[in-house]
Chains A and B, each alone.
Chain A
Amino acid sequence: MGDFRMPSLGADMEHGKMVEWLIKPGDYVHRGDVVAVVDTDKTVMDVESFEEGVVAELLVDVGTTVPIGTPLARITQTPDDGAGQAGGRPAGPLAKAASGTAEAAVTAGAVEPAGAAAAAAQVPPPVRHLAHQLGVETAGIRGTGRHGAVTRADVEHAAAARPRPAAPAVPAAAAVHAARVPHGARVRSSPRARRLADQLGVDIGSVPGTGPDGAVTEADIQRAVSGHRAAVPAEEAPAEEAALPGAEALPPKETPPSEAQDRLSSLRRAIGALMSRSKKSIPHYYVSTTLDLRAAIAWMQQVNEQRPVASRLVPSALLLKATALAAREVPEVNGFFTDGVFRPSSSVHLGVAVALRHGGLVAPAIHDADTLALDVLMQQLRDLVSRARAGRLQRAEMADPTLTVTNLGDLGVEAVYGVIYPPQVAMVGLGKLVEQPWAHDGMLGVRPAVTATLSADHRVSDGLRGGRFLARIDELLQKPEEL
């Protein structure tokens, strides 16, 4: 048996507020399943379970703020039960009754006879989350990733290729949705649908889903709004809304100005506290170099020319990949300084500072950025930024970047000198892309260029090593086709 506790979602987090439970007592959760939505001072994010087992009890109510480490739910490990159920996500007694046949029908297809636990371990949380959103059962997917790990592409493929679910599963799932999902139960939906529902003030649990496995789609939300404008938010003063039947359209459920102000000031406070700690405790040094992007931009434009807009690259993707590769070669900038000791990281989890449109910023990580193909990195960057802005980041993304890149220069400045985010030991700043006069071989020409800066921890490295790191980024960008 284990407790699911309020996790630390970043060095500056002291407490978190429970925003939404995605599980309820009786649910079976895997390690890595997204089980709750938590609000820190900085952002709202999805939190996954470290435990596997049956949810015995939820210990914290929605709306409660608790310090990190506080038990949030009790999870009972029941191996026998688990072996039978691990493939599915029974949502309660109803689904449980149906799960026998449904499981049998689904697994009859193409399930590897791998143990459920092994299969679970092979599915990274983001992929599991995606599978969950698409209503795909990961146990039935043959992984094509490293060591047979299930990748995003595998999940998407499975979702696309999936035969219509077996008969017994559908009515059960549909019935659950049609009968309005009990509050607190996981509603299958895309983040965009969820966000839209939130904006329009629609209780997503009351919307019948038409997507895979009854998932609620954006279209469903829009239909729900145009169909019956009386739809009211689940928790936000339903009486008030219902009392205005004459209102021609539901006003978007904006956060009230005072709340937005509070949020912004608490976010600024959190950033301020961490940054002053960083400046006080980390002896920063700064170096900068100008990256020649002629080759990289020319190559990217050529590639983009052949592509639909959905798969085009932006210069940031190339810069991030080159940075990640250079960080692998210069480990003094990639890792954590804790308890007086530097621990280099063997993986490069590249934190990307994302400006939130309502103010402030967060820096979630792209995991193993150095090993990702450029196109994959680009897709993950887009996904990460949109989820950061929608408040759908996950715990691991916030907690473990090993080196952070701030690309604020994208919106205007030529150079940005970052403040190191402890316990990391370096921060890379990328300025905006500018055309500048460039002397080469005794000739003057014009080249697209970006100023890259490094703020690094003098306890761990010095200017020579830091300079080497930046120079390596420049070298890597001269052969963009190899990134």
Chain B
Amino acid sequence: MNEQDAREAVHTAIGQVAPDVDFDGLDEGSRLRQDLELDSLDFLRLVETINEATGVDIPERDYTAVATVKGMIDYLAARG
């Protein structure tokens, strides 16, 4: 998966989990938990949504690598 596809997948998934997030003003350095205010259940749903859409499974030990929007995009681009 190239970076653009990965970005799109991440944006779509965030849009489903947190429909109120405004992508126009989104800094990709934003932390999913603290800055986008995803709680642990939202985060789990995000990982699940991404898994369903892209087939990429993000095991729990990699959660720190996908803590930011950019981190999530890079992770998918590298593995998708």
Contact = CB atoms under 8 A, between A and B. Distances in A.
Interface of A: 199, 301, 304-305, 308-310, 312, 314-316, 355, 357-358, 381-382, 385-386, 407, 410-412
B25 interface: no
A410 B37 CA distance: 10
B40 A381 contact: no
A280 B71 CA distance: 48
B37 A411 contact: yes
Given A411-B33, A411-B34, A382 B40 contact: no
Given A355-B39, A411-B37, 9 more contacts: A309-B44, A309-B48, A312-B44, A381-B41, A382-B44, A382-B45, A407-B39, A410-B40, A411-B34
B15 to A, nearest CB: 11
Overall SS of chain A's interface: helix
A355 B39 CA distance: 9
Contact of B58 (A301, A309, A386, A411): A309
Interface residues on B, range: 10 to 19
A410 B40 CA distance: 7
B20 A357 contact: yes
Contact of A305 (B34, B47, B58, B60): B60
Nearest to A433: B40
B41 A314 contact: yes
15 contacts: A304-B59, A304-B60, A305-B61, A308-B57, A309-B47, A309-B51, A310-B48, A312-B44, A382-B44, A385-B41, A386-B41, A386-B45, A411-B33, A411-B34, A412-B34
A315 B40 contact: yes
B37 A314 contact: no
Contacts of A355: 39
A382 B41 contact: yes
B57 A309 contact: yes
A207 to B, nearest CB: 20
A334 to B, nearest CB: 24
Contacts of A410: 39-40
Contact of B59 (A305, A314, A357, A381): A305
B43 to A, nearest CB: 8
Contacts of A316: 40-41
Nearest to A412: B34
Nearest to A358: B20
A122 B19 CA distance: 38
B60 A301 contact: yes
Contacts of B59: 304-305
Nearest to A314: B40
Contacts of A386: 41, 45
